[in-house]
Structure 1
Amino acid sequence: MAAQVLRRGQAIVWVPPRAGGERAFATEATLLAMLPIAATEKLVSGPGHTAVTVQGTGSAARYARLSLDALPPLKSVTLVFDARDVTLLRAKVPPLSGARLRQALPNIVEDLLLQDAQQCAFAVGPKTGDGERLVAVIDRGWLELVVGAFERKGAKVAAAWPAQLALPVGASGAALACLNDGLALRLGPLDGIGWNAADGQQARAEAIVALLQAAWSAAPEGERSFAERELPEEGPDRRNLPFYVEGPAWQPAVMIAAAKAGFAAEIRSLPLPMAAPVDLLTGRRGSKAGRWFADIDWRAWRLPGALAAAAVVVALLGLNLHWGMLARERDALRTAIEARYRQTFPEAQVVVDPVLQMERQVATMRARAGQSGPEDFVPLLTRFAQALGGQAADALSGVEYRDGRLRVRFQPGQFEARAVRDTLVQACQRLGLQLRFDAEREPTATVALLR
């Protein structure tokens, strides 16, 4: 029983129907959880949980009705989905597996569904006697919402079963559960159905009778109804139908329905669910990260998203305004430089790059006057010799000048170490020169003015 299955940090949770509100179970006491007795005692005796209803199911574990937020910390949880939210179908499934089978299932069973098949999750079960396979269908959004809610709470969802296939059957091979204002009927190893029930005793009794009549009328041709089946002769309760009820409020309705339908009702407390022959978790698709991303409630991020978008717009507007100011300042400087150049050299006809043209004009005038410029051979070599210091006389084996640059070749063994080269580069920078070695071990380098 429960003592053999539930350990500390484990739970079995009956999920309320989707019709009760997709997010109601987070804050409202709509979950029916089987927990170890120690956990339920803490819930009942703790502050803020005096309204929790507890149904005894044994000496080691019992049920407590509570919300998702009120659940104690769990390591693993088994979910039992309401029978009204899971449709059990029998279909001929091609011999496929994996992604191909998931792609084919919506086309195979879409004629048997009222909902869009693309919005459903399909879990394939074992083969039936007629060569078909059991297919459990549930709304994909509801499955992901519930499973994701428990995963975000830190609990690993070990399995997800349809309620109608998780009921222990009696000698008749059938069983019926009454909980969450609904009914779950199991008719066999792979057959079951869910049904709505009202609040009053008479309404609940009529719902039970209607469910049994619908199940019997839907039985395959050649099969007898539950009341007419040839049941095993062993056992005194072979014609009893087990009724698993959530609480004593269901008992009068069950007795009224049993009298109308003509069978003996064996009323029991909610049992420890049996492992169903199909696991709804196999119907999930995509990676864990993809499901997490799809499960995000983007409506809660509307205000932060709007604020972030407004901040980005303001930042972009500020950047563009600053860029415009810098562009106007650049144009003003360029205009001033060009005006100064035309004022200095009024004979210039075309001005493309006033700075470069100014340098060339100054260099030409200096050459005509017999003066040397900073990029000439002698000034460059003089500065470089100052950077070399006392090693200038023996460090160089050759010097070549071209286009305002010096190509120097060092003596073998000079300036090969990285630290020595870095020291020489820094010395050149202090004198307004830029020194670049051709390669790591090459003895050649280029010397030019530092711009």
Structure 2
Amino acid sequence: MRTLIVQLPTDLPHPAMAYPHAVVGDEPMAQAVKLQWAAGSLLPRTAAPAETVALVPAAALSWHRVELPAGLHKQPARWQAALQGLLEDRLLDDPSQLHLALQPDWHNTPRPWVAVCDRAWLSAHLQALEQAGVQVHRIVPELLPPLNAAPTRITALGDANNAWAWVSHAERGVWGQAFNTATPQLAALGLSDEERSLAVVQAEPGVVQALSERMDLPARLMAPGQHWLDAIGSDWDLAQFELRANAQTRRLKQLQRGLDSAWRSPAWRPARWGVLLLVVTQLAGLNAWAWKTRADWQTQQQGWAQMLRETFPQTQVVVDAPLQMAQQVERLRQGSGQLGAGDLETLLAALGQALPADLAIPRQWTYQTGQLRVQGFKPSASQQQSLQQSLSIQGYQWRAEGDAWLMRLTPPPEAKP
């Protein structure tokens, strides 16, 4: 997955501002970073990289450790207010004007880190990048405090005329000091002799010699932008609280732009033709299936009509062959004096055959053509189930209707085209 890394300058955005950026490939940790500078409108579009990461410079962040109240992780609505209350006495500005972000997996950390930066500054840069067509997916700090009691790191960035030495301390966070060729010893970094001797010191090529001379410690050469790869390789994401909702909106807009690009871009023309061919094939298959189903139904209807005319030649017009056949058979039955399935005697005989042995035939009933209404009859649940199953086998329905029970013929299924 390709990633576009854009470092946010510490100044507020303006039309002439150039953003340091780099594009890394599928395995960023195994490659060098090629730093470039470009205005927001000239940055690589997000259609090429799969992810865009905004890098918040170390100079724009302050770090604080907090002890969160027990059970706070179960109350997401209180997270931001709780952080503002805990940090109110430590911050120079009003916490409501600052953006706060908790470290990853803070639920399982006794004293998690909180990164703090100016909310208006961060929002202005995100908005400027969005207006330039660059959709930010993640926001990460440039330098991080070491986790799990890792050794202190000293990172020197810049060149001989504009250099910064940054300290990443497991207990005190991240802080830095500017230096140049005229700066004396860097004792003001605030580290004890033991911490300085155990620290991991690394520096970019432009400042490696100056740092080694002023700290009297050997500094490991670090490729320019290498610390960017360490930053995006972490699980940090500063897009929390109100910026999280904005991030979801940005992802939705990016999806809309991606769909629009897939619809209009010449590069997607083969895919569009493939989708169109698939849709046409499916429509043709559905139409063929519907035509065959209708033809089978018409053939069945014609067969019923032919059977009706052969059995009852006096039938002149065929509208509903199965229904007309049933009516003609009913007339023949009535003419011969035979009992039908809907006659009273047949209904009573079927009910008597279906009744459980411990139930007698009810005495209160009312007969209408094709149905029998039974009153004063209170079978148990098991008896009701047995009665219903037995009558269903004989072709009758048995159901409750108010305080009575209704028995009638099961209607034949409707013919469907």
Q: Does TM, scored on the shorter chain, surpass 0.5?
A: no
Normalising by structure 1, we get a TM-score of 0.41
